[in-house]
Amino acid sequence: MKVGTLSDYISPKTVFLFFLQFILVVLFLGYRVWQDSSVECIKCHSDKNRMTELGSPDLYVSPKSAEKESRHPNVKCHECHLGDGRAKDVAKAHKGMLSALLVGENGNILDRKRVYPHALLPSGSDRIRMMLPKINDEPHPEVRTVLWHDRNRETLNFDPEIAAKTCGKTNCHPDQLKQFKTTIMATNFRQRTMKTWLEPYGPHNCGPSFADVAPSEILRNSDFSFKNTEDIARELNVPFSKKQAEHKQRFCNACHAGCLDCHYEPDREKGVHNFTAKPSSESCGGYGRGTSICHPGAMQSRRGETYMGGDYSIPTGMKPDIHYTKKIHCVDCHTTGPKGMGDMQRKANCQDCHIEIEEAHANSIHKKLDCASCHISELRGYQVTVWGPGKIAGGENPFKKYSLYYGIQSPPILMKDQKGIWMPVKVWPHAAGNIKPEVKPSEKIMFRWPNGETRDAYYVVGTQKSGSNNNHLLWLEIEQAAHPYGKARGCDSCHKEKQIAVSNWEFMDDQGAEPFKGGHKIIADKEGLRIADIKNTTPIRPLKGYKIDDFASWLSFKDKWQAPGDFSIGAEKEKYAKYLSLSKKIDLEIASMERFVKNADKKTKKRFKEIKGAVLHNQDIPAEKLRELDAGR
C-alpha cells in the first residue's frame, strides 16, 4: 500500500460497519458486566421484614454477612448459587439456582419448600445427624441425608461441570478444581474399578459399580453408564434392569465427596455460609449428615472404626481416638499429596510426632508389628452382610444389601500385610444370592491392591446352593483397621495358640425381618481363618414377603466361611517369658517414676514422657533410659 492511500480504502459504509461492530462489542461487554450482579438477590434476602412475611426469616442474609461468613470478599450470590441475580420475578431469579439437596429414603430429591423451607444449621444432640432437618428435635422421617450444591440431581454424583461454574470458575479456584479432578477422592477410582462381582478382582462389601462411569485418571462427568450393568446382569439368575442399576448407583454416589463436602461447614455461631480452608474431622465424617455419606460408610460401618467416637461410631458409644481428644484433626496426619487439592495420603506418619517411640519400635522385637495392632481393641459396624432380593427406591431389586447387622468384634484379628507387617483387620462373612456362574474358592487370601495402595484383602469361598435364591457367592471381607488408637492391648491377647475375636450383633434393617440378635466367633490360627458358631440368640421373625435366605442366608452356610493360611502368632516360650517379665518390671518402674515427676518442672516431665514412650516400645533398653531421671530423685 502506498503512503497516503489509506483513504482510498475507507468509505462511509466501512466507517459505519466499524462503528457498528464497536458499539455491539461495547454493548455486549457492558451487558455482561451489568448481568454479573446479584442486586435483586440482595434486595430480597437482605430485607428482614420481607423474608419474615414470606415465612423464611432465617433466609435473611446481607452481602456483608455472606462475605464475612464465607471468607470470600466481594463475592456475589449468583457466583456460588447461579440463578439470575438481575431477575425481579422470583421464578426466573431462582431458575437454575443451586441449593442443598434433601435426599429421601428412596434416593429421591425431596421438595425443599414442602419438607424444610429453612436454613440448614446444626441442631440436636446427635452429632452425626446434626445437619439433618428436624421436627420436634428429631430427624425428619423423610430425609435420609443432605447433599450440598455441587451434586448432579439425577445421579447424585459430584458434578465437575457445576464446580467449574462455581468454586472452580476463573478468578476463584480453577487450579484447585483441576488438581482435585485427578485425585482418587474425586475420580472414585477404586470403587469404579469394580466392574462385576468377580472382575477385576473378587467381590467387595460395597458391591460392584452398578451403573457408574468407568474409572479414569481425570474426572470428566457425573453421568450414569450401563456397561457394567450388562456384565452384571449376565452373571445373574434373575433379571437386573438399567433402572434397578440406577437406583443402586444413586445410593453409592451419595457417599462420595466433592468440594463442598470438605470445605463447607454451616455453623450457628459462624453462620450458614461458613467455609473453611482446613476441613475438620467432622467434615471427613460427613459433617452431621447421617451415616450414608463420606467416611461413616467406609470407616465406621465397613471397617468398624471411629475417630471422633460417640455418635460417630456404629453402634454408638465407641471411645474417640486419643489423637482426636488432643484436637488433632484428620488432615493433620493425612496430609495433601503431590497431586494437590484432595490428594489425601492414606498412610499417616507417626514419626512426625512420636520420634523416640518410632525409633525404639524400629529396633524392638515388635518391629514387624504396626502401631494399630496393639492400640486398637475393638471394631464395630457391619458384622454380617447378605446381598439378596428386596426393595430399593421403592421397587423390587435383586441387590438389596442387608448389612445392618450392627455389633462389636473384639479383639481384632491380626494378620500380615503384603510386606509381612502384622496389622489389625476386621473380618466378617458375606453372601450374594442368585449368582449364575459356578465360582471356585480362592487359592489363598488375596489383597485387592497387591502393590500396597491399600492393605485390604478378601477370600472367595465360592458358590454354594441353598433352598432359595439359587447359587450364593460367599466370601470373607478382610479390611485393615487404623482407628481408634487407645490404650494398648495386653500381651496375652495376642500370644495364644489361637486368635479368637468374639462378635455380638443385632439385625436392625427395616426390611427382611423384625430386629433379632446373634453372634459368632472369628478364629485365626495355623490352620487358617474361619467363622465359627454363627447363630441367632433371639427368634427370627421374617416380614411379609421375605424369605430367610433373602437376608440371613448364613443360616444355611454356618461353617462354610473358611480360608487357608497360617495366622498363628509365634513366640518361643522362654523368649515370651523373658519379655513378659521385662514388661511387668517396666510397668512398676514407670509407676514409681510417675510419682516422682508429678511435681517436677516441665522439662523433666517432657523428658520422662519421651523415655516412657521409648521403653514401653522396646523392652531391651529400659534400664539406662529410666536411670536418666532416677538419678535426679
- Assess if residue 63 is contained within a domain: no
Number of domains in the chain: 2
Q: Which pLDDT tens digit goes with each residue over 224-271?
A: 999 999 999 999 999 999 999 999 999 999 888 899 999 999 999 999
pLDDT of residue 624: 59
Average pLDDT for the chain: 91
Q: Which residue, 432, 396, 336, is CA-closest to 546?
A: 396
Average pLDDT over residues 192-200: 93
Q: Is the pLDDT of residue 34 over 60?
A: no
544 and 470, same structural domain? yes
pLDDT of residue 9: 65
393 and 514, same structural domain? yes
536 and 413, same structural domain? yes
Q: How far apart are CA 352 and CA 72, in angstroms?
A: 33
* pLDDT tier, 350 (very low <50, low <70, confident <90, very high otherwise): confident
502 and 469, same structural domain? yes
Find how far residue 359's CA is from the centre of its chain. Answer: 32
> Residue for cell digits 477410582?
189
Q: How far apart are CA 572 and CA 266, in angstroms?
A: 56
430 and 409, same structural domain? yes
Name the residue range of residue 405's domain: 373-563
- Assess if residue 551 is contained within a domain: yes
Average pLDDT over residues 327-336: 93
Q: Is the pLDDT of residue 33 over 70?
A: no
pLDDT of residue 24: 67
Cell of 469: 435364591
pLDDT of residue 619: 87
Q: Is the pLDDT of residue 28 over 80?
A: no
552 and 419, same structural domain? yes
pLDDT of residue 127: 95
pTM over 0.85: yes
- Assess if residue 10 is contained within a domain: no
- Assess if residue 509 is contained within a domain: yes
Q: Which pLDDT tens digit goes with each residue over 168-183?
A: 998 899 999 999 999 9
pLDDT of residue 6: 59
Asked if 459 and 415 count as a contact pair (C-beta separation under 8 A), the reply is: no
Q: Which pLDDT tens digit goes with each residue over 53-67?
A: 888 888 899 999 999
pLDDT above 70 as % of the chain: 94
Average pLDDT over residues 624-628: 63
244, burial (CB in 10 Å: exposed 0-12, middle 13-18, buried 19+): buried
625 and 526, same structural domain? no
> Given 563, 584, 608, which residue is the final one in a domain?
563
> Given 512, 530, 563, which residue is the final one in a domain?
563
Q: Is the pLDDT of residue 432 over 60?
A: yes
496 and 528, same structural domain? yes
- Assess if residue 223 is contained within a domain: no
511 and 617, same structural domain? no
- Assess if residue 518 is contained within a domain: yes
3-class secondary structure per residue, 15-73:
HHHHHHHHHHHHHHHHHHHHHCCCHHHHHHHCCHHHHHHCCCHHHCCCHHHHHHHHCCC
Q: Is the pLDDT of residue 2 over 60?
A: no
Q: Which residue, 326, 258, 248, 318, is CA-closest to 286?
A: 258
Q: Is the pLDDT of residue 159 over 90?
A: yes
Lowest mean pLDDT segment, chosen from 11-20, 33-42, 510-519, 583-592: 11-20
Q: How far apart are CA 4 and CA 501, in angstroms?
A: 98
Q: How far apart are CA 363 and CA 376, in angstroms?
A: 22
Q: How far apart are CA 319 and CA 326, in angstroms?
A: 13
Q: Which pLDDT tens digit goes with each residue over 280-327?
A: 999 999 999 999 888 988 889 999 999 999 999 999 999 999 999 999
Asked if 507 and 421 count as a contact pair (C-beta separation under 8 A), the reply is: no
382 and 525, same structural domain? yes
Asked if 100 and 247 count as a contact pair (C-beta separation under 8 A), the reply is: no
* pLDDT tier, 3 (very low <50, low <70, confident <90, very high otherwise): low
- Assess if residue 464 is contained within a domain: yes
pLDDT of residue 331: 93
Find how far residue 124's CA is from the centre of its chain. Answer: 23
537 and 601, same structural domain? no
3 state DSSP class of 399 = strand
612 and 545, same structural domain? no
Q: Is the pLDDT of residue 545 over 70?
A: yes
Q: Is the pLDDT of residue 5 over 70?
A: no
The dihedral sign for the CA sequence 240, 243, 244, 250: positive
- Assess if residue 621 is contained within a domain: yes
> Given 563, 592, 610, which residue is the final one in a domain?
563
Please report which helix (H) or strand (E) contains residue 135, including its range. Answer: strand 134-135
Q: Which pLDDT tens digit goes with each residue over 83-117?
A: 999 999 999 999 999 999 999 999 999 999 899 98
pLDDT of residue 487: 93
Q: Which pLDDT tens digit goes with each residue over 395-420?
A: 999 999 999 999 999 999 999 999 99
Query: Which ranges constitute the DSSP H helices of 539-601?
Result: 548-551, 573-597
Lowest mean pLDDT segment, chosen from 7-21, 119-133, 209-223, 230-244: 7-21
